[in-house]
Amino acid sequence: MPALRIESLSKAFGRTVAVHDVSLTVERGQLYGLLGPNGAGKTTTLACALGLLQPDGGTISVLGQPASQIHTLCGKVAVVFDQPTLVRGLSVSQNLAYAQRLLGHKGGRSATDALQLAGIADLAGRRAGRLSLGQSRRLAIARALLGQPELLVLDEPLSGLDTLGVTSMLALFSELRDQGLTLVLSSHRLHELERIVSHVGVVIGGRVVREATLDDLLQGVAGQLRVRVDDVPRARTALAQVDGAILGQSDEAKGLLRLDPGPQGAPAITKALVDAGCAVSAIEPMRSGLQSVFETLLEEYGPHEVLP
């Protein structure tokens, strides 16, 4: 039974389509990155999954229960939003005690253990209003860890953090995953999350355009070339004659296409284009980093091509 399964989810606000036909699966034990630019529909997708928004269509199950019945999973699903809602006048430990009483947590991880795991046990007596942004995020995570959650959802958990804060937060997420917690991280911080996520769903223009393990996603561009020419149709015709070359997506308006050059490599590609009379302004290898993969997907599935 997956921790989270979304099938054909759609949600609109008036005439504005926020998400359309979104499907994704998060298995237990994964550290899943729901990645995409701001405004792509990540937060709307999670809000529907958490029962905070009523979807217009599709089905959602959380730990085997419909999203509409998520209240029956009290204590098993925890959420940390971009802006932590803390009681600023209370101390760190008092915030956790208040949360325990409010949520009715009995048993499971104690406030002391949650603070220790979140790395802010030494701040137990400090007022929440005096915490830095990174410390506030850690307190919100400590609060989410009270009891015994099985699924932790974090929306833009790295927003506003400096380099040291990001590194520290990533280490915390990895530790939580190692302890058996399933995590879903919604973020546009691709470079940082590449260091820890095991699985990725890429959201562009309100749709999940690619879902895979991180290794498979990065392997998909290894050895490929990005080519910029003056005439894409002519270039595709010429390259179709290169033995072993496999043509990928192209953007005629931008003069871009990508391909696997095959065993003959870039020299054969260049010769075929020149012989066909194509003006070639760039031939470059596709990097295998997550940012590069995302840029390729953005070229292929720009928002202007995705939403109806």
52/54 Cα distance (integer angstroms): 7
Q: Which residues of 84-110 are buried (b: 16+ CB within 10 A; e: fewer)?
A: bebeeeebbbbbbeebbeeeebeeebe
Predicted confidence pLDDT, tens digits, the chain (308 residues): 899 999 999 999 999 999 999 999 999 999 999 998 888 899 999 999 999 999 999 999 999 999 888 888 878 899 998 777 889 999 999 999 999 888 777 778 899 999 998 889 999 999 999 999 889 989 999 999 998 899 999 998 888 888 888 888 899 899 999 989 999 999 888 888 889 999 999 999 999 999 999 988 887 666 778 899 999 999 999 998 888 888 877 778 888 888 888 888 888 899 999 999 999 998 887 766 788 788 778 877 765 433 33
- Give the pLDDT score at 303: 53
- Give the pLDDT score at 307: 35
Coil/strand/helix, residue 76: coil
Residue 229 and residue 276 in contact, taking contact as beta carbons nearer than 8 Å: no
Residue where the block lists tokens 């979104």: 22
pTM greater than 0.85 (yes/no):
no
Residue where the block lists tokens 């833009």: 156
- Give the pLDDT score at 222: 61
Q: Where are the domains of the chain?
A: 4-212, 223-285
- Give the pLDDT score at 143: 92
Q: Report the phi/psi class of residue 306: left, alpha or beta, with left for phi > 0 and alpha for psi in -120 to 50.
A: alpha
Q: Which CATH class is domain 4-212?
A: alpha beta
In CATH terms, is domain 223-285 a member of 3.30.70.100?
yes
